[in-house]
Amino acid sequence: MLDVHAIRSLFPILQQQVHGRPLVYLDNAATTQKPIAVIERIDAYYRTTNANIHRGAHHLANISTEHFEQTREKTRAFLNARETAEIIFTSGTTDSINLVAQTWGRQNIGAGDEILLSMLEHHSNIVPWQMLAEEKGAVIRVIPIHDNGTWQVESLDTLINERTKLVAVNHVSNALGTINPIETLIAKAHATGAKVLIDGAQSVTHMPVDVHALDCDFYCFSAHKLYGPTGVGVLYGKRELLDAMPPWRGGGEMIKSVSFEKTTYNELPHKFEAGTPHIAGVIALGIAIDFVQSLSWSEVTAHKQQLLDHATALLLEIDGVRIFGTAPHKAGVVSFNVASHHPFDIGTLLDQQGVAVRTGHHCTEPLWNFYGVPGTVRASFAVYNTLEEIESFITALKKAIHLLS
Ligand code: C6P
């Protein structure tokens, strides 16, 4: 089994008290905490090798470039992409999705074409497509869900048709934790020639991802949900698609040559990486990937399942609790409301007892419109959470309910 206490000792932030109580951090779907090795790598970069990459002919620039490119190779291996040219560094999942919408999307989506999303999408995987659809006269369609928060898979046969140009869905729902059957969807989409973008923001910490085996066309994630720094994201794309896509942001690094008459563009992946990137952040993502790879996936998923099962069982013992998202396959997320208490009130009272959760719509407003509630309280788990923390959370929740009643 996972040595959770050894893992916890690697995360300095977890050792502190909040409002006089030991911190119980259950807001991991929003962002995970960072192991000391990630924090120290950022510090070491600025202390010893800070220099702009890919341009200097000097020692520090060469070392920084080498370390930056090492993370690209680690990311390639982590996702099992075929080549490093298929790994683009962005500022996060949101940025990765916008990149695809503004390049592949503007090039390939026209009037009357359909973009298929699901009811479970984060705003980051809705709004960029709406903006594109508005500009092009394209149509957004939505995979409906059952009450338990799973896709109505049978609807895919009619929703995916010859007008569907793109299907863009998340692998794991941030709001409910549902693990979606993307393999089935990818096969159906490809059968009609549609491309598939997977929003992997919540999946890369939960399970091994093999983009080659999945055969998805694009896969996006954020470093900060994978124990890495904020401000760094990844876009994986199949080389043939990335090669055919026009660049998006113009500037340094993404060009081969510039004159006032004509500019030619750089090779992949640099074509999509205009300007100075978050060099320290990308290098530290490499350390975050090392951390995740040092753990056993089967132990990580088993541990998170245990946390989820324990939290779910204890929540269901409390009068008035309604859990949203009861899919048979879930990642470590539990979203709930208690009677008519406002989620924000519950969250505030939990915070006062040192328990950090997220409250509100979790950037999935259409989903809460489906359930007819404005939002929920959401607890989300990471490898460093313990069963004792789940119990502290439930004790604090009971106290909060008592104070509100
Ligand atoms: N979800 C949450 O609390 P960025 O902000 O670009 O790193 O990630 C956006 C994003 C996209 N898709 C999914 C499925 C996500 O969960 C998120 C981020 C956080 O649920 C912050 S809103």
Q: Are residues 175 and 266 in the same domain?
A: yes
**CB contact at 8 A, 24 and 373:** no
CATH for 152: 3.40.640.10
How many structural domains compose the chain?
Answer: 2
CA–CA distance from 292 to each of 75, 81, 279, 305, 386 (Å)?
12, 17, 20, 17, 18
- pTM for this predicted structure: 0.98
Q: Is 96 in the pocket of ligand 1 (CB under 6 A)?
A: no
Residue closest via CA to ligand 1's atom 1 equals 30
Do both 219 and 300 map to the same domain?
A: no
- 186 and 321 share a domain? no
pLDDT tens-digit series, residues 97-110? 999 999 999 999 99
Q: Are 374 and 285 in a shared domain?
A: no
Task: Give the model confidence (pLDDT) of 25-79 as tens digits.
Answer: 999 999 999 999 999 999 999 999 999 998 778 999 999 999 999 999 999 999 9
Cβ of 321: how many Cβ atoms within 10 Å? Answer: 17
Between the CA of 96 and the centroid of ligand 1 the distance, in Å, is 12
Other beta carbons within 10 angstroms of residue 402's beta carbon come to 9
- Ligand 1 neighbour 30 (Cβ under 6 A): yes
Which atom from ligand 1 is nearest to the alpha carbon of 30? Answer: 3
109 and 235 together in one domain: yes
Query: Is 199:364 a contact under the CB 8 Å cutoff?
Result: no
Please tell me if the CB atom of residue 174 comes closer than 6 angstroms to any atom of ligand 1.
yes
**Are 333 and 266 within one domain?**
no
Domain range for 259 is 39-293
Q: Give the pLDDT score at 52.
A: 95
Pick from 96, 202, 224 the residue to mutate for probing ligand 1's pocket: most ligand atoms within 8 Å of its CB. 202
Claim to verify: residue 173 and residue 98 sit in the same structural domain: yes
Q: What value does the mean pLDDT take over residues 361-374?
A: 98
Contact 206, 301 (CB under 8 A): yes
pLDDT in tens, 226-269: 999 999 999 999 999 999 999 999 999 999 999 999 999 999 99
Domain boundary among 224, 258, 293: 293
**Residues 278, 319: one domain?**
no
Give the Å distance between the CA of 142 and the centre of ligand 1: 19
Name the DSSP letter for residue 370: H
Final residue in a domain of this structure, among 239, 271, 293: 293
Domain boundary among 293, 316, 347: 293
Under 8 Å between Cβ of 338 and 321: yes
Cβ 225 vs Cβ 201: under 8 Å: yes
Q: How is 280-345 classified by DSSP, letter by letter?
A: HHHHHHHHHHHHHHTS-HHHHHHHHHHHHHHHHHHHHTSTTEEEE---SSB-SEEEEEETT--HHH
Q: Which of 320, 321, 303 lies closest to 312 in space, CA to CA?
A: 321
| 8 plus 89 within the same structural domain | no
- Which positions are annotated as active-site residues? 363
